[in-house]
């Protein structure tokens, strides 16, 4: 059952990613009408990431949003960037994969890595019981 639960989360995570990408593109195109392209990109990226945080809390991991996890959430985007960038470089320069196909392959590796980082940030599994809970009282 645990593997099935994990796959369900991964599928929901991917669905949120699709919504996030569509949100980014839509906002970018709209904002581009009024702003410089790079400013439009930055604003669209930040707004899409905020939306992604709340969707992942509610839909993917079913956790309550918290300031701490909100502030840590950009680490998942950084993970995605690092994994896709490294993968893209290796695929194109080491394995001679076509530049048009390489980003898709790199993204397919980045999704599970980003999922794990996001899960770590948004779920309470990372918290450990205090030291006192692991000790037993010694009586003489």
Q: What is the pLDDT of residues 53-96, one digit of tens each?
A: 999 999 999 999 999 999 999 999 999 999 989 999 999 999 99
**137 belongs to a structural domain:** no
Residues comprising the chain, all counted: 140
Does a structural domain hold residue 111? yes
In sign, the C-alpha dihedral spanning 107, 111, 117, 122 is positive
pLDDT confidence bin for 103, thresholds 50/70/90 = confident
Q: Is residue 132 part of a domain?
A: no
Q: What is the pLDDT of residues 34-47, one digit of tens each?
A: 999 999 999 999 99
* Domain boundaries, position 12: 2-124
Is 130 part of a structural domain of the chain? no
136 assigned to some structural domain: no
Residue 129 lies in a domain: no
Spatial CA neighbour of 26 closest among 11, 10, 45: 45
Residue 138, in any domain of the structure: no
Determine the pLDDT at residue 125. Answer: 59
Which residue is listed with tokens 């320069």?
A: 93
Indicate the number of domains in the chain. Answer: 1
Per-residue pLDDT, 136 = 36
* Phi, psi dihedral angles at 97 (to 5 degrees): -80, 145
Within a domain: 131: no
């Amino acid at each position: 059952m645990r593997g099935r639960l994990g796959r369900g989360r991964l599928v929901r995570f991917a669905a949120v990613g699709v919504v996030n990408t569509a949100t980014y593109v839509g906002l970018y195109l709209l904002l581009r009408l009024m702003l410089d392209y790079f400013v439009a990109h930055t604003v669209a990226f930040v707004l899409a990431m905020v939306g992604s945080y709340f969707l992942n809390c509610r839909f993917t991991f079913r956790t309550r949003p918290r300031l701490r996890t909100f502030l840590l959430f950009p680490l998942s985007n950084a993970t995605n960037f690092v994994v896709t960038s490294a993968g893209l470089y290796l695929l194109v320069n080491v394995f001679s994969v076509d530049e048009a196909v390489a980003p898709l392959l790199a993204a397919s590796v980045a999704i599970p890595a980003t999922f794990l980082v996001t899960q770590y940030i948004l779920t309470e599994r990372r918290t450990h019981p205090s030291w006192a809970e692991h000790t037993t009282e010694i009586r003489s």
